[in-house]
Amino acid sequence: MKRVFSGVQPTGNIHLGNYLGALRQFVELQEDHECIYCIVDEHAITVPQDPKELRKHILDVASLYLAVGVDPKKSIVFVQSDVPGHAELGWVLNCNCYTGELSRMTQFKAKSHNKESAPTGLFTYPVLMAADILLYDTDIVPVGNDQKQHIELCRDIAIRVNNTKKKTFVVPEGRYLKEGARIMALDDPTQKMSKSAPNIHSRISLLDDPAKIKKSIMKATTDSEGVIRFDPENKPGVSNLMNIYSVLAGVSLEQIEKDYEGKGYGDFKKDLVEITVNALAPIKARYEEIRYSDELIDILKDGAARANAIAKPVMQRVKDNFGLGLGR
């Protein structure tokens, strides 16, 4: 069985982009893969975090994993900092990655706002991400398109180490969906939907109430043509909404075009509100059940123990191949 690893940062509310680009894949893959899903709290501290809020967000994201359908009987769910191998392997990989490679990362450029000095953790963030993946001999990494550059770097580091040391790592593949891999901001369809954008109407969070969902969708940027047609280049706003509609309702883009021929954006948006509210209602209900249950903590503790058991021999292999420690 192939092994899958992925992670989500515990920062802010998980939104439709995270769900349609990544979490949806997590649920699908667990049926016939060995899946490991992580809440990457060590990544979150690359930008300032309030400790109390961070702890809360860790449990929020863990609950959302379960609420969207990740099944702890099929998948391992755990918190990154509960497995020491991530930071440990991160260091070894830092010694096998170059500042030139990291300087090219577009997310670093965006997050550091091209400032001359930025936290080192923000700079080496993709190396920790590579450690997350390589620590489990991962074959497949389900993510949204925005992580492509990081996955390529992870592959480069793995290949480099395998070529210079003994074969140490499994070289993973990214897995990106055709539709949903890049959900755009509702207020500015040239930007990806993100947790950190100041305008709350730029995104739909999985826990938004129906009134907020309605407002965000009805306000969403479209264009003046008034025709529902999929054309991401010339009609990015409408195409983004069509993408969301298509995935949530399970209707093809062509069918949407046919169904809305002669109709305006108002009708289309009203239907999209209904589809979105109906799709998110069961997730919200399950979230409420799980979030404050003792079961959640047990699942995460059990997940950490199972993740550690897989990580330990891989870390020992790394130490052996690099000559670290006393050996066995």
Give the footprint of ligand TYM on this chain (CB under 6 A): 5-9, 17-18, 21-22, 40, 43, 129, 132-133, 141, 143-144, 146-147, 181-183, 192-193
Cβ proximity to ligand TYM, 24 vs 214, nearer residue: 24
Q: Which two tokens stand for residue 327?
A: 């050996």
Question: Which residue of the set 74, 111, 215, 312 is catalytic?
Answer: 111
Cα angle 188-67-307, degrees, rounded to a multiple of 5: 105
Cβ proximity to ligand TYM, 207 vs 260, nearer residue: 207
- How far apart CA 160 and CA 103 sit, in angstroms, is 18
Least distance from ligand TYM to the Cβ atom of residue 228, Å = 21
User: In what helix (H) or strand (E) does residue 175 lie, and over which residues does it extend?
Assistant: strand 173-175
Cβ proximity to ligand TYM, 136 vs 260, nearer residue: 136
Least distance from ligand TYM to the Cβ atom of residue 173, Å = 12
Least distance from ligand TYM to the Cβ atom of residue 180, Å = 6
Q: Which two tokens stand for residue 65?
A: 């994993």
Active site residue 269: no
Least distance from ligand TYM to the Cβ atom of residue 302, Å = 21
Exposure on the CB side of residue 118, measured as CA atoms within 13 A: 19
Comparing C-alpha atoms, which of 169, 152, 138 is closest to residue 322?
Answer: 169
Cβ proximity to ligand TYM, 14 vs 299, nearer residue: 14
Active site residue 195: yes
Question: Which residue of the set 192, 214, 235, 269 is catalytic?
Answer: 192
Active site residue 270: no
| 143 and 180 Cβ atoms separated by less than 8 Å | no
- How far apart CA 196 and CA 52 sit, in angstroms, is 18
| 102 and 123 Cβ atoms separated by less than 8 Å | yes
DSSP three-state, residue 75: strand
Least distance from ligand TYM to the Cβ atom of residue 5, Å = 6
Long-range contacts of 264-268 (CB under 8 A, 24+ apart): 264/226, 265/222, 265/226, 265/228, 265/238, 268/228, 268/241
Catalytic residues: 111, 192, 195
